[in-house]
Amino acid sequence: MGLALIAGMVWLTGTWFDLRAPVIEMQPEVKLLGPKQTFTLRLSDDNSGLSQVTVWLQQEGNRKEVLAQTFPGRRWGRGGQNRQAEIPLILEPKAWGFQEGPATLTAEVRDFSLMGWFRGNRAELVRSLTIDLTPLRLTFTSINEFLNQGGTGLVTYQVNKPMAKTGLVVNGVFFPGYPVKGEEPGRYLAFFAVPYDLPQPLTLELLALDLGGTEVRHRLFYRLKPKKWKNDILTIGDDFLQRKMAEFQEMNPQLKGVTDPLAVFLHINQEERMKNDRIIQEVCQSSQGEPLWQGPFLRLPNSKPMAGFADHRTYKYHGREVDKQVHLGQDLASLERAEVPAGNTGVVVFTGPLGIYGQSVIIDHGWGLFSLYSHLSEIKVEPNQKIHRGDILGRTGATGMAGGDHLHFAVMIHGHFVNPVEWWDPHWLKDQVYRQFANVGLPVPTTKAAPAAAPEAVKAPAKKKKRP
């Protein structure tokens, strides 16, 4: 009896004389309110429960009550039935007669406690906002004259107000736009990757989302040059499996107990490959907001092209097909342990082992453009180091899934692989990139041809066998 009485008093104290105020949150966190915007109000009170909530928008003499809601419960009984609530709010300042300028959004919530002169504990959230009723305008300027399948695209456009998010959506993949510094504000450009594999029509949509939550999309028209990729058959030998798979097993504890080298190979060529590509995408998510590169990219001197971009590979072992993959870079063979120059100016964002790519370096060249140098035997640079065009990054090698000494060179747009051959070509830069720079007030650099490979000067090229 005594214990029951004590328990009842404790319960009443926690409910009737609850001293803690409710918790109130509002999402999203914005400072600019557009003509119409949706918010979510999140309320909670784990003790006496939610009693009522009121929300209003105020600007000088204009006050609009947005929400007035009560919750079921008994102040003298069990308290509120709702401990948590999530309420959508739609704010329409233009329809309510508000003007552009400062305004205040206030939310007040109370619980079923007897505190506050029997009105309950009170919590208040106040936000100072700026009402922006100017319509968002998104104006397309230019796009490549021709888009090469698997290549790099560039779009330029203009918006009339500050952006929360803007860029180009390519078959559902977002490529951010970058503001162009100049006399005329609101000019943007966005590099994007044209998929090498197009199982569906290519869809390009310009996207602009202003600080007030208004979104505008424009569908773009384009001319696409389709590409037929090379099909290649790679024969996996027992010598390669015994030698290379042992290296991967040493680095991966999960594979140390696997006795079948082919099973190790398939794991590395499939799961590890996908893992490595995810790492590359993560590394390439954030880019410098200005171009660090200029002119065509350098190519590995005195090198011979081997496997090309988007080569479709079929792997065979003892005459039977065991796997299929796509090679998303350009292999270049030169002297063993040849010095590898940076293709262009940028900032090193990654160095070290990268699974199938072996010892690798990734450089950010700004505006979402990155380059990758793989299978290195030696790395001579560090993350965050500023690199100039031609600086030595390391030496070629056969680390990772390489059958012989060579360089795997790749170019990515925000982590999505594109054909690197375009970035070696001064004519492509002039016709497809620099012409568009002029549309947004950017100076057009003088293009110079990148040094081409000189096969006749290669005294000891890497083995010419096909490489996994």
Listing DSSP states for 10-35 in one string gives: HHHHHHHT--PPPEEEEES--SEE-S
Q: Specify the DSSP class assigned to residue 430.
A: I
Q: Look-up: residue for tokens 């970058």?
A: 178
Architecture of domain 138-225: Sandwich (2.60)
| pLDDT for 76 | 63
| pLDDT for 19 | 67
| C-beta separation of 334 from 303 below 8 A | yes
Judge residue 95's burial from the number of C-beta atoms within 10 Å of its C-beta, 0-12 exposed, 13-18 middle, 19 or more buried. exposed
How far, in Å, CA of 412 to CA of 280, rounded? 9
Q: Look-up: residue for tokens 């998303």?
A: 328
How far, in Å, CA of 452 to CA of 369, rounded? 22
- Say yes or no: do domains 2-131 and 138-225 share a fold: yes
| pLDDT for 212 | 81
Q: Look-up: residue for tokens 């899934």?
A: 401
| pLDDT for 46 | 85
Does domain 231-457 fall under CATH 2.70.70.10? My reply is yes
| pLDDT for 467 | 46
CA atoms within 13 A on the CB side of 297: 26
Give every CB contact of residue 237 below 8 A, 6+ residues apart in sequence: none
| pLDDT for 15 | 58
Beta bridge partners of 340: 394
Q: Specify the DSSP class assigned to residue 220.
A: -
Other C-beta atoms lying within 10 Å of the C-beta of residue 155: 24
| pLDDT for 86 | 94
Full pLDDT tens readout for the chain, 468 residues: 555 544 444 444 555 667 688 999 998 888 888 888 889 999 999 888 888 999 999 998 899 999 999 998 876 666 778 889 999 999 999 999 999 999 999 999 998 887 666 678 889 999 999 999 999 999 999 999 999 999 999 999 999 999 999 999 999 999 999 999 877 889 999 999 999 998 778 999 999 999 888 899 999 999 999 999 999 999 999 999 988 898 888 888 888 888 899 999 999 999 999 999 999 999 999 999 999 999 999 999 999 999 999 999 999 999 999 999 999 999 999 999 999 999 999 999 999 999 999 999 999 999 999 999 999 999 999 999 999 999 999 999 999 999 899 999 999 999 999 999 999 999 999 999 999 998 888 887 664 544 444 333 333 444 444 444
Domain boundaries, the chain: 2-131, 138-225, 231-457
| pLDDT for 401 | 94
> Rounded to 5 degrees, what angle do the CA atoms 431, 437, 443 make?
110
Q: Name the E strands within 180-287.
A: 187-193, 204-210, 215-219, 224-225, 231-235
| C-beta separation of 329 from 309 below 8 A | yes
If we measure between CA atoms, which residue out of 134, 127, 190 comes closest to residue 162? 134
Residue 195 has which token pair? 């998929």
| pLDDT for 113 | 85
| pLDDT for 468 | 47
* C-alpha distances in Å from residue 8, one per residue of 1, 21, 49, 82, 280: 11, 22, 18, 21, 60
Give the neighbor-by-neighbor strand order of the sheet with 50-59: 32-33, 122-131, 101-111, 50-59, 62-70
Architecture of domain 2-131: Sandwich (2.60)
How far, in Å, CA of 209 to CA of 191, rounded? 18
| pLDDT for 309 | 97
| pLDDT for 16 | 65
Q: Identify the sign of the CA torsion 66, 72, 77, 82.
A: negative
